[in-house]
Structure 1
Amino acid sequence: MTIDTSVSKKLDIIIPAYRMHSQSFRNALDGISEEAALRRMDNNTNHVVWMAGNLVNCRYWIGNLLGIDDKDPYEHLFNEARALDENFAYPTLEELKDSFAIISPKVYEMLLIAPDELLEMDYPFGMNVSFVKENVLNMIGMCIGREDYLLGQIGLMRKLLGLKGMRYDIDDSLSY
């Protein structure tokens, strides 16, 4: 595996995290059945499908920030971390994995070529945090942070579902 180089040095931290999340997404979902993926603990937690769907939605969000026109087919369920709603028919884990596999390499390619001018463009995301400039770069960073959070939740759910903890195996054939 080679070290990724991007046009913008501002993405030198983002790209390895992005690629590690791609590996972790696969590892975190490994062995979780469709039935188990819809279980909620004490009816208080989100289920794994909701978590995975939000993570996939982050990938589409980053892609849209970078100029990709593809839309998340499940955006109506997950956009802006929409709350879990038991009345909705959620996609299967397999459908989410497929969607992840479609958007992730496209986003990766755009991360490699994103120029500083694009990353520095204003992008209001409404957090109003005095020390965070609301621009494309920081929104991408927020999405990466959200992916970290969701992967941690899925990792915890694995244990609550009686599965082993997530592996950190690397699949060198996964190029994004």
Structure 2
Amino acid sequence: MNTPVSKKLDIVIPAFRMHTQSFLNVLDGITEEDALKRIDGKTNHIIWMAGNLVNCRYGMAWVLGLREEDPYSDLFFQGKALSPEYNYPSLQALKESFHKISALLYEQLLQAPDELLDSAFQFGMNVPFVPATVLSFMGMCIGREDYLCGQIGLMRKILGYEGMKYDINTNIPY
């Protein structure tokens, strides 16, 4: 692993890299058809969950100064509610977008200085024990990724797939 400029990211970066692996593993083998299924019309489908996770990565990149646009932002920005009227992208398209932004974001994380991480950033949580900083936003996004991977993992089981594997692809450097 490359060494980040800021020691404050010593926990965030390994979690980020593990989530890269988990995201790809949790989606492994899921068909495009199954990725659009909802349970009793009440749950989000896997496409929405995956798209929201990819959008989180675009948000992290944006806050760190990387001006890459999520091509599906209008469907997923700030957890926009799922709607049956929307035409959602394929899992394959989301994976491609995920790889693109993840590689770029990883480099931004490595270069992020303490001054940027400590800077004020209002992200709407308004929780007294969570400082409104860029670093806190990174941490909240990492938590969101955990949550979404867990939700997709549960959907895997409900849809009849085996549980997610924890295989590591060492060829993915981010």
TM-score bracket relative to the smaller structure: over 0.9
What is the root-mean-square deviation in Å for CA atoms of aligned residues?
A: 0.6
Distance 2:128 2:58 in 1: 27
Match of 2:171 in 1: 173
**TM-aligned CA deviation for residue 4 of structure 1:** 3.6
Match of 2:103 in 1: 105
Match of 1:48 in 2: 46
Distance 1:26 1:128 in 2: 32
Distance 2:81 2:138 in 1: 21
Aligned pair count reads: 174
Distance 1:159 1:43 in 2: 17
The answer to whether structure 1 residue 129 and structure 2 residue 143 are counterparts is no
Distance 1:55 1:163 in 2: 21
Distance 2:67 2:74 in 1: 16
Match of 1:34 in 2: 32
Q: Give the letter for the 1:89 counterpart.
A: N
Match of 2:112 in 1: 114
Match of 1:24 in 2: 22
Q: Give the letter for the 2:130 counterpart.
A: V
**TM-aligned CA deviation for residue 128 of structure 1:** 1.1
Match of 2:87 in 1: 89
Match of 2:157 in 1: 159
Any idea what the Cα deviations from partners look like across 1:4-53, whole Å, max 9, x if unmatched? 42110100000000000000111000000000000001111000000000
- The answer to whether the 8 A contact 1:4-1:15 is kept is no
Q: Secondary structure at the match of 2:150?
A: helix
TM-score normalised to structure 2 length: 0.99
Match of 2:59 in 1: 61
Q: Give every structure 1 segment of 4 or more consecutive aligned residues whose post-TM-superposition deviation is greater than 2 Å.
A: none
Match of 2:75 in 1: 77
Any idea what the Cα deviations from partners look like across 1:56-82, whole Å, max 9, x if unmatched? 001100100111110100000000011
Distance 2:36 2:23 in 1: 17
**TM-aligned CA deviation for residue 124 of structure 1:** 0.5
Distance 2:19 2:114 in 1: 23
Any idea what the Cα deviations from partners look like across 1:78-106, whole Å, max 9, x if unmatched? 00011111110000000000000110000
